[in-house]
Amino acid sequence: VIKCKAAVAWGAGKPLSIEEVEVAPPKAHEVRIKIIATAVCHTDAYTLSGADPEGCFPVILGHEGAGIVESVGEGVTKVKKGDTVIPLYIPQCGECKFCKNPKTNLCQKIRITQGKGVMPDGTSRFTCKGKQIYHFMGTSTFSEYTVVADISVAKIDAAAPLDKVCLLGCGISTGYGAAVNTAKVEPGSTCAVFGLGGVGLAVIMGCKIAGASRIIGIDIKKDKYAKAKEFGATECISPQDSKKPIQEVLVEMTDGGVDYSFECIGNVGVMRAALEACHKGWGVSVIVGVAAAGQEISTRPFQLVTGRTWKGTAFGGWKSVDSVPKLVTEYMSKKIKVDEFVTHTLPFDKINEAFELMHSGK
């Protein structure tokens, strides 16, 4: 058993508490990882807020991490002690019908136990003050050591800077993949990206790499525009600058609508606007943002009858074990940006400040 520091969420709506936790050794087909760096994501904040119906407390959150394998359980063959790895919240078992289908990356092998905050055998590897602590998204990267299933880990280039590539565990991969895998953006096309946070910037990067000729960024926070243009946005607009609905503004700007649109916020009203900003006959809109539980999307069916397509994406459609090492290689060879997404680097015990910076849009 390893004793180490972790940021424990004792209950909904409370700040994270830095505690000493005990991390049990990995059982069969499990891997214990020393986490070197982790990022914060709105999905962590969503569960922490209490709005997540799958949220259970007390829990160690975090799902964008990178580290070194400390030890492996019986039967683990893909990684060994000392390997550099990224934990994966969408695993890839290679055996389920989802893994065998090239159309999806949604491996279902451990979905039920992962959603309940436990390892595949139904138990937790974390304890604190004599209490069992739940796992989160199968990763729990807000701990100096964590235990994950062996199908939930990708071995990456040992030379990669872990304080940067941890972002490939969720945000950057999600946005980039939404453009290149889910939408399959074509050269010369016109795109609109709603929400210019980390995921939105990654979508813009993907659209640019795919050869889009016009990329319109949409956000009410104008201080985000300069960064969006650095990533490839050709122009940026605010919905608050017009009395007309944003979809009408976009349709006028683009002679009938955009070829591809992306919702990177998790707002069902914006999801509708993103679909309706698409061009009749061929426009594709991708939902990337995660809306709160119980919310529903709506539009007039005529929008779809007249040739628009509504799609969704999780982790950018990447089959995780196969794709994350390749994404790291693309970053190392400067094909994709990663460093530019990092705005602040804080010590672990300032993790609550990191959440404040995220909520303020900084």
Q: What is the CATH number of the domain that holds 248?
A: 3.40.50.720
How far is the C-alpha of 355 from the C-alpha of 44, rounded, in Å? 9
Cα-based angle 110, 122, 60 (whole degrees, multiple of 5): 85
Query: How many CB atoms lie under 10 A from the CB of residue 161?
Result: 15
Q: Are residues 141 and 8 in the same domain?
A: yes
Q: Are 119 and 126 in contact (CB under 8 A)?
A: no
The answer on 163 and 81 residing in a single domain is yes
Tokens of 162: 């872990």
Q: Does residue 308 share a domain with residue 323? A: no
Nearest Cα neighbor of 91 from 43, 172, 152 is: 152
> What is the structure's pLDDT at 293?
85
- Supply the CATH number for residue 64's domain: 3.90.180.10
Q: Which structural domain range is residue 202 located in?
A: 175-313
Whether residues 127 and 215 share a domain: the answer is no
Q: Are residues 218 and 331 in the same domain?
A: no
Same domain, 121 and 266: no
Distances (CA, A) of 252 to 121, 282, 362: 55, 17, 31
Asked if 190 and 90 sit in the same domain, the reply is no
Q: What is the pLDDT of residue 292?
A: 86
- Sheet containing 2-9: give its strands across: 59-60, 2-9, 17-23, 126-128, 131-133
Domain count, the chain: 2
Residues 37 and 133 both lie in one domain: yes
Same domain? For 29 and 116 the reply is: yes
Q: Based on the fold, state whether residues 223 and 252 are members of the same structural domain.
A: yes
Low-confidence ranges of the chain (pLDDT < 70): none
pLDDT in tens, 149-165: 999 999 999 999 999 99
Res 98: pLDDT: 98
SS3 letters across 314-351:
CHHHCCHHHHHHHHHHHHHCCCCCCHHHCCCCCCHHHH
- Sign for the pseudo-dihedral over CA of 145, 149, 155, 160: negative
Domain check: are 223 and 309 in the same one?
yes
| Paired sense of beta strands 145-149 and 30-39, if any | antiparallel
Rounded to the nearest 10 degrees, the angle between the axes of helix 246-253 and helix 268-276 is 20
Do 83 and 54 reside in the same domain of the chain? Answer: yes
pTM of the model: 0.96
